[in-house]
Amino acid sequence: MSNVNVYSYDQIKVGEVHSFTRTITKNDVLTFSSLTGDINPLHIDEEFGKKSKFGKNIVHGMLISSLFSRLVGVHCPGEKCLYLSQSCQFKQPLFYDETVEVIGTVVQKTDALRMLKMKMEVIRENDIIVTGEAQVQLID
């Protein structure tokens, strides 16, 4: 795949920031619901969403956090990565048709293991939606 970055471990520096934007649509939510079987009405039933404390449907937190996989697998480190772990804290709801920026910052490198620790964030304008930490290993 030609759009996947191919960084070597030595090319990646602590402090580097990689990001992309994505708008999450109702169709994305319905597809995620179908793939995972998570049919919680808070995500997919309009009437239920209207009666919730949010006043409308919200996007699955795990759909939002799954964007971290794109950041790691495509942007940094890209092709030579093995995703080892991901923590997530869900801070704010996201609604259909909102655009987020997915940001990964390299905060630590472990040379002996060729491993990166990355701070991961999903942000809507100035609101942090999801934050967490990823452990990624570069493989040959």
Q: Whole-number mean pLDDT of the chain?
A: 96
Contact 26, 119 (CB under 8 A): no
Tell me 111's DSSP state.
G
- What are the pLDDT digits (tens) for 22-49? 999 999 999 999 999 999 999 999 999 9
CATH numbers and ranges of domains, the chain: 9-24+61-138 (3.10.129.10)
Beta bridge partners of 108: 117
Q: What is the pLDDT of residue 1?
A: 47
- What are the pLDDT digits (tens) for 52-96? 999 999 999 999 999 999 999 999 999 989 999 999 999 999 999
Considering the entire predicted model, what is its pTM?
A: 0.94
Query: What's the burial of 97, exposed, middle or buried (CB within 10 Å: 0-12/13-18/19+)?
Result: exposed
For residue 2, pLDDT over 80 is answered with no
Contact 26, 97 (CB under 8 A): yes
